[in-house]
Structure 1
Amino acid sequence: MLQHPTVDQISLPHVLAVLGDQTRLAILGDLARRGDEPLACAEFKLLGSKSNLSYHFAKLREAGVIRVEPCGTKRLISLRRDDLNARFPGLLDSILATAITLPPPEKRIEQAV
């Protein structure tokens, strides 16, 4: 089973350090665009390779930003919105306001070509 920090273990320096990466911000933007619906890891494939994404998911999970839940052969990714709002009121909304302005994955590919 994957370890997730408790609400009390989520630290602001760790969360901010983890979110200093463009790919991780893009992951949050994609999650925010879908609302509270968990997304399978495969739905992020436009953001990078499977091993690269696994690394970024692990960093976000260890910081307490996302929850990763096994579901059959998939892993579902969701924001820990309630936990982050309980620990740092308003922080996640501010971060998501920026993350959601990043282009969706299909636009990132078009811009790179």
Structure 2
Amino acid sequence: MGPARSLEHPTPGQMNLDTILSALADPVRRTIVAQLAGGHDDQACIEFELPVSKSTSTHHFRVLREAGVISQQYQGTKILNSLRTTDLSVRFPGLLDAVLAAA
């Protein structure tokens, strides 16, 4: 058995407000964030019902991960998604709450 696969995530200090706001500007990505915020942490990508193709869905998850909004971890062949609530709250207090309230 080989080493576990992992995906790169920015550290809290590397999180950039413009990048995060750009990631959250898309309604599909806000749907993903809202679903994770609603208690669906550690949810696999395939469990989201999104109005886009699988490849477009993969792109949306990647944009959120690279911005630092979500964390993605492999579990077998699935990728589990979690909202980086604590990191976002420390780095940009109130931002996530404001985005979720507006959605």
Whether the TM-score (by the shorter chain) exceeds 0.5 is yes
1:72 is aligned to 76
Counterpart Cα distance in 1 of 2:20 and 2:49: 23
Question: By how many angstroms is 1:48 displaced?
Answer: 2.2
1:11 is aligned to 16
TM-score (norm 2): 0.88
Question: By how many angstroms is 1:47 displaced?
Answer: 3.5
In the alignment, structure 1 segments of 5+ residues that lack a partner are 100-113
How many residues are treated as equivalent by the alignment?
A: 98
| Correspondence for 1:40 among 23, 32, 44 | 44
| Correspondence for 1:91 among 81, 87, 95 | 95
User: Over the residues paired in the alignment, what is the CA RMSD in angstroms?
Assistant: 1.2
| Identical-residue share of aligned pairs (%) | 50
In the alignment, structure 2 segments of 5+ residues that lack a partner are 1-5
1:49 is aligned to 53
More helix by share: 1
Question: By how many angstroms is 1:16 displaced?
Answer: 0.4
Counterpart Cα distance in 2 of 1:47 and 1:76: 20
Question: By how many angstroms is 1:34 displaced?
Answer: 2.1
Counterpart Cα distance in 1 of 2:85 and 2:60: 18
Counterpart AA for 1:90: G
